[in-house]
Chains A and B, each alone.
Chain A
């Protein structure tokens, strides 16, 4: 499916933006012809009049109609704005791109200079340049334009170097594409959308700067006039006729808003990537798992979770899942990315974002209904009894709070422990997950710990209460294999010590089989098979068999090609497309 740009033009914002542009262009081209006479004809008899039917904004001290003057001023105001924007954008883009390819020493110098220039406000730079080029329309055009160059250059440089660091540019460098080729073929096309968005923003700021300069008497000089001059003249007579000052001001405001709308439209268009229609998950019958005799920790029946797809509809990511977890049991969910395994786990924890639509016949943790908003008592119970370990331990710990703080607050909020007791408990939990010198570590911040240690802290956080369920969502995927073992051991020991059940999510079936009692295999939002972890060789579903066979392991026959999923279920393209 290809993205059709004209579709974006249907929104109310797009309509108003385009109407605004048409209005501006019309005024720029025709206003001087239509109202030039009214704007310049002096009529001393009617000087300094308040607004009336024949002069909606009143007249100035020579009796000229102010509305006509505001409309006629559109041309000069806009031409100056466009001129300066062109200077700022062209100069900035060239300078920014050059900075990306010049040798390192030059590049350092250039970026340092840009940083310094950028630390001065635009208006100040403009005033400085005005001193040089003089208080005139031409001087202001150059001053405002040049003052804008550093901002654009810096933006271009940052974006270019981020694009230049990406693999496809490295690939081009490896095959011998030169610096100019890289800039022209790869960098410019990739930064163009953002540049367009920013050009609109620059134009808006430019307009305001011009108005400011003319207002201060440093821009356009009499007998010419732009909105800034009219504003200044109006302010001089504000006691006679306040509207005289507001009129040109409103013209500036409306134009700035139109420019901002254009920028927003451009960024909308730039942000839209070709969309691939979400595959409707096939409605297979979900395997029903019989509930066990003792009271389960987690009970899920016909869980369905959907998310907005961005064009008003909903995509079902979990399509009717049912299972239970008994106390102390270790259950694994295996599946490819996009199979709905994490969404299922987060639904049980009640931690899906507000965008998710969760429906289920039953969705319970102990006796708490997780499909609704928990009350205070339920929150307390959840805070102490259910904890979650995420894939990336660096981002799942708060970077600005100490490890100790993040542990103790669980007990302080829910467990009614005093600060000192909570601190003691935190040290106990940290030593339990094998962190040496827990008292010292508790005072440190997450970035001072290694990846494996952070993940152990996350597990320790769950031990602050009386855990009944620990959800581990790909807890070792971001870690090295040798560290992975360590973290799994800690997880295992935590379970042994507390009797907590574990829900273990992973894409690695070998890992899950070694850790769990029971394995659920998920595909396209459904559980396709449930297995005893010790009897994976009895897997019946083709997808499970494929998952087991299609990854090489340490005993794979090296003389034969690996089986692929298509060999098992005959589907043409079993992979999901990631847009």
Chain B
């Protein structure tokens, strides 16, 4: 899995330290800081989407050589090639092509696959639910497990009790993070599918077929998130307000669940957003390992076959998924965080 950078040092704003100017009146008085933040995020998503549209459009144009010839192979007749070119609109002026491309997008026309001659939109529509299910279930599993694991190991390390347990778990998590998805998948297939004959190793449709891919997909992100929770929890345990809570002699469950947990949620969710998008991308590999007919296998076969309309469609879809998920995470964060440390950025 992809490990996002965890650096969070923000560049300092222009007012010099010493003057408490930063906290005063930085937002429009009429507009709540929350709305300002959301407006900025929505704008960013729209800009990103526009960039993605341009980038996918350009794919066909920046590929070296003749994409149509490359896609159809050397044996294709010139008439076939010319036909395909016309189909792709490559014989028109480039601005006209772009305009057609964008209007097509607004009407949901993504073109026809060079390979199957089926509508790209229909194919993707069939495959999207598969990938979404896989990623969604895996994320739910990862999210549910990471918080207890991370918090418990952090408390163990902090209180210097059963530290070996905390450290061992941390080491294991590190190994899982370093493990390539496909190795996990292959290991699971070898163990449960071939040696134990316990679970199906390929295909899609039944619950049993879901188990191994979900586990293979979830373990890496779960370990990564558990680490984040662990680190966040350790730093929260060191804060003065946790000392205040100890000073009030609150029982452990109140201190950890009421005082500490809400304070690690922001960090965990921010990381969770990155993990979720990474997880969406991770389906590419897992789907290939387990022969699941989702978006992941589609993108791989289309790149191999140079099926450009399909590539454009699937890249666009993946990118929109990622951007949409980012926006959802941002919405949740703003709703959850009364302190809104995010809004200062």
Interface residues of A (CB under 8 A from B): 112, 115-116, 118-124, 127-128, 130-132, 134-135, 151, 154-155, 157-159, 161-162, 164-165, 194, 198, 201, 204-205, 208-209, 211-212, 215-218, 231, 234-235, 238-239, 242, 245-246, 249-250, 252-253, 256-257, 260, 349, 351, 353-355, 374, 379-380, 382-383, 386-388, 390, 392, 395-401, 406, 409-410, 413-414, 445, 447, 458, 461
Contact = CB atoms under 8 A, between A and B. Distances in A.
Contacts of B55: 128
Contacts of B159: 354
A211 B180 contact: yes
A43 to B, nearest CB: 25
10 contacts: A119-B322, A121-B277, A124-B322, A127-B303, A165-B11, A201-B3, A249-B183, A398-B244, A413-B248, A458-B244
Most B-side CB within 10 Å, residue of A132, A215, A447: A215
B175 A257 contact: yes
A118 B249 CA distance: 44
Contacts of A123: 2, 278, 281-282, 284-285
A231 B2 contact: no
Contacts of B180: 208, 211-212, 249, 252-253, 256
Given A119-B326, A238-B190, A212 B181 contact: yes
A218 B300 contact: yes
Interface of B is mostly: helix
Given A128-B315, A215-B285, A256-B178, A116 B244 contact: no
Contacts of A388: 243-244, 247
Nearest to B23: A447
B7 A398 contact: no
Interface stretch (B99-107, B120-128, B144-152, B257-265): B257-265
B12 A238 contact: no
Contact of A235 (B5, B186, B259): B186
Interface in B287-345: 288-289, 299-300, 303-304, 311, 315, 318-319, 322-323, 326, 337-339, 341
State the 4 A-B residue pairs at the shortest beta-carbon distance, nearest first. Answer: A161-B11, A165-B12, A249-B183, A383-B249
Given A124-B318, A159-B7, A238-B189, A116 B47 contact: yes
Nearest to A458: B244
A132 B62 contact: yes
Given A151-B5, A392-B240, 10 more contacts: A112-B44, A122-B281, A128-B59, A151-B4, A242-B190, A246-B187, A256-B178, A260-B178, A382-B249, A413-B251
B9 A162 contact: yes
A447 B339 contact: yes
Interface residues of B, number: 79
A528 to B, nearest CB: 28
B7 A130 contact: no
Interface of B: 1-5, 7-12, 44, 47-48, 51, 55, 59, 62-64, 158-160, 174-175, 178-183, 186-187, 189-190, 194-195, 238-241, 243-251, 254, 258-259, 262-263, 277-278, 280-282, 284-285, 288-289, 299-300, 303-304, 311, 315, 318-319, 322-323, 326, 337-339, 341
Contact of A131 (B59, B190, B263): B59
A349 B1 contact: no
A8 B248 CA distance: 42
Nearest to A154: B5
A401 B262 contact: yes
B178 A400 contact: no
A121 B299 CA distance: 15
Contacts of A218: 300, 303-304
B336 to A, nearest CB: 9
Given A115-B44, A132-B63, A238 B254 contact: no
A526 B239 CA distance: 27
A387 B243 CA distance: 11
B183 A116 contact: no
A245 B190 contact: yes
Residue in A120, A218, A380 with the greatest tally of chain B CB atoms within 10 Å = A120
B249 A380 contact: yes
A252 to B, nearest CB: 5
Contacts of B241: 395-399
B158 A354 contact: yes
Contact of A119 (B158, B263, B288, B323): B323
A130 B315 CA distance: 12
Nearest to A124: B281
Contacts of B51: 116
Contact of A390 (B9, B11, B179, B244): B244
B248 A383 contact: yes
B277 A162 contact: no
B177 to A, nearest CB: 8
A397 B248 contact: no
Nearest to A397: B241
A366 B323 CA distance: 60
